[in-house]
Amino acid sequence: MKTVTLIPGDGIGLEIVESVKEIFAAAKAPIIWDTQIIGKTAFEQTGQLIPDALIESIKKNGIGLKGPAETPIGKGFKSVNVQLRQLFDLYANVRPCQTIEGVESRYENVDLVIFRENTEGLYSGLDYYDERLQIADTISRITVAGSKRILAAAFEYAHQNKRKKVTLVHKANILKQSGKILLDAGHEAAARYPHIEFEDKIIDNMSMQLVRNPERFDVIVTSNLFGDILSDLCAGLVGGLGVVSGANIGEEVAIFEAVHGTAPDIAGKGIANPTALLRSAVMMLFHLEYTEIAQKIDQALIKTLKQKELCTGDLGGNANTKTFTQNVINHL
Ligand code: NAI
């Protein structure tokens, strides 16, 4: 048995976490949940956005599963998602994006993995407003060490998973200093893996190419902001935000979470698709080397997704979160 810190988060997070718990219980997954609060709810109850109890729990367990947490837009507190990633130095945000049989999409053979640098760039927190001059400066800090380690992680993943190509996405034509750091780190890592093809692309061109020919890409590595945006774009290539999973990986800690947010437009209606969080939870089981149980849950999910009528509304089906959950359990 392994204890995992469970952070339901806000909005649909509360609904989809229940779904994962039910499916894990039905599959007899050897996981004990240590549930912790974060963000606005945590602040109201403890006076802390990231309570000490949550930090202690993650330190102790080393593994977390997290639902989405709300961030006020254009005002208010700094994203607790970003804070958590920086606090535990979860530098690699790994987001696989594959065509799923049965899930409608315009493309057939998408099979790519995004490595988003998760602690630097425009999310470094260097965000200032000068009241007198009425100027805002948001600094994108890129470090040599940070760039080397995300490139190393992407290449090592490609090597371990027999992937053929790594594409580094940047804006080095305009952002010359930070772009050069990333490109240098890319070439340096590529030299250590001569059997893996390496290319680099400028973000604007990459966005167009991904929409036209996503099947040409394999492992994509990029900075924080570009990775954030491309992740949602890639979700759109394979059926939407309801189906794509993710992991925040560091040296000591790993926290698994879906790409999507709290979906305020559907929160509380009981219709959210739990697939993305469930797939993140399956990634977690693989990470913990509970391979058999991970495959069992994954197969049940794949069988469910093949039958459109058993799926939630975002995938064109008739199920709500609860009935979808039951459909997956029936396939276990
Ligand atoms: P969002 O990802 O919450 O929603 C975008 C669209 O996708 C909405 O139409 C939503 O209904 C749909 N959607 C998302 N997940 C779905 C699911 N599981 N099933 C069915 N439909 C789904 O993005 P939005 O609206 O821009 O952000 C809302 C809030 O979430 C913000 O406060 C934002 O900061 C936060 N957020 C948190 C993240 C995290 O905790 N890792 C990641 C992204 C956003």
**Residue 5 belongs to domain with CATH number:** 3.40.718.10
User: How many domains is the chain partitioned into structurally?
Assistant: 2
Token pair of 209 as six digits: 């190419």
Ligand 1 pocket residue status of 289, Cβ below 6 Å: no
Task: Examine residue 229 and state whether it is found in any structural domain, yes or no.
Answer: no
**126 and 98 belong to one structural domain:** no
Task: Examine residue 228 and state whether it is found in any structural domain, yes or no.
Answer: no
Distance 241 CA to ligand 1 centre (A): 8
Task: Examine residue 297 and state whether it is found in any structural domain, yes or no.
Answer: yes
Distance 172 CA to ligand 1 centre (A): 30
**218 and 281 belong to one structural domain:** no
**What are the residues whose beta carbons fall under 8 Å from the beta carbon of 89, sequence distance 6 or more?**
119, 250, 251, 252, 253
Exposure of 197 by Cβ count < 10 A (0-12 exposed, 13-18 middle, 19+ buried)?
middle
Ligand 1 pocket residue status of 69, Cβ below 6 Å: yes
Atom from ligand 1 closest to the CA of residue 272: 19
In the prediction, which pLDDT does 72 show?
A: 92
State the Rg of the chain over Cα. 20
In the prediction, which pLDDT does 163 show?
A: 98
Paired residues of 111 in beta bridges: 98
Distance 9 CA to ligand 1 centre (A): 12
Contact (Cβ atoms closer than 8 angstroms) between residue 168 and residue 222? yes
Ligand 1 pocket residue status of 241, Cβ below 6 Å: yes
Alpha helices in 165-316 (DSSP H): 176-192, 203-212, 224-237, 275-287, 291-306
Residue type, 167: T
In the prediction, which pLDDT does 14 show?
A: 97
In the prediction, which pLDDT does 324 show?
A: 98
Q: Which of 223, 246, 271 is the last residue of a domain?
A: 223
Nearest CA to ligand 1 atom 27: 261
The dihedrals phi and psi of 185, each to the nearest 5 degrees, come to: -60, -35
| Long-range contacts of 69-73, Cβ-Cβ distance < 8 Å, separation of 24 or more | 69/7, 69/9, 69/10, 69/13, 69/38, 69/39, 69/262, 70/9, 70/10, 70/11, 70/39, 70/40, 70/261, 70/262, 70/264
Task: Examine residue 285 and state whether it is found in any structural domain, yes or no.
Answer: yes
Residue type, 28: K
Distance 107 CA to ligand 1 centre (A): 23
Distance 2 CA to ligand 1 centre (A): 29
**216 and 293 belong to one structural domain:** no
**276 and 326 belong to one structural domain:** yes
Ligand 1 pocket residue status of 222, Cβ below 6 Å: no
Ligand 1 pocket residue status of 273, Cβ below 6 Å: yes
Q: Which domain holds residue 97?
A: 1-103+238-332
Nearest CA to ligand 1 atom 8: 263
**294 and 196 belong to one structural domain:** no
**215 and 242 belong to one structural domain:** no
Task: Examine residue 230 and state whether it is found in any structural domain, yes or no.
Answer: no
Ligand 1 pocket residue status of 118, Cβ below 6 Å: no
**6 and 96 belong to one structural domain:** yes
d(CA 277, CA 256): 8
**93 and 180 belong to one structural domain:** no
Distance 328 CA to ligand 1 centre (A): 23
**204 and 262 belong to one structural domain:** no
Q: Which of 169, 200, 223 is the last residue of a domain?
A: 223
Task: Examine residue 312 and state whether it is found in any structural domain, yes or no.
Answer: yes
Expressed in angstroms, the distance from the first to the final Cα of the chain is 20
* Strands of the chain, DSSP E: 2-7, 31-35, 63-66, 92-98, 111-117, 127-130, 135-138, 165-170, 197-202, 219-222, 247-249, 254-257
Q: Which of 161, 191, 223 is the last residue of a domain?
A: 223
User: Token pair 């959210």 is at which residue?
Assistant: 272
Token pair of 114 as six digits: 């995004």
**185 and 262 belong to one structural domain:** no
What is the block-wise mean pLDDT of the chain (332 residues), using blocks of 10 residues? Answer: 98 97 98 97 94 98 97 92 97 97 93 98 95 97 98 98 98 98 98 98 98 98 98 97 98 97 97 98 98 98 96 96 98 97
**9 and 96 belong to one structural domain:** yes
Ligand 1 pocket residue status of 265, Cβ below 6 Å: yes
Residue type, 124: S
3-state helix, strand, coil in the chain (%, to 5): 45, 20, 35
Task: Examine residue 315 and state whether it is found in any structural domain, yes or no.
Answer: yes
| Domain containing residue 132: CATH number | 3.40.50
CA torsion through residues 149, 280, 83, 261, sign: positive
pTM of the predicted model over 0.95: yes
**215 and 299 belong to one structural domain:** no
Task: Examine residue 270 and state whether it is found in any structural domain, yes or no.
Answer: yes
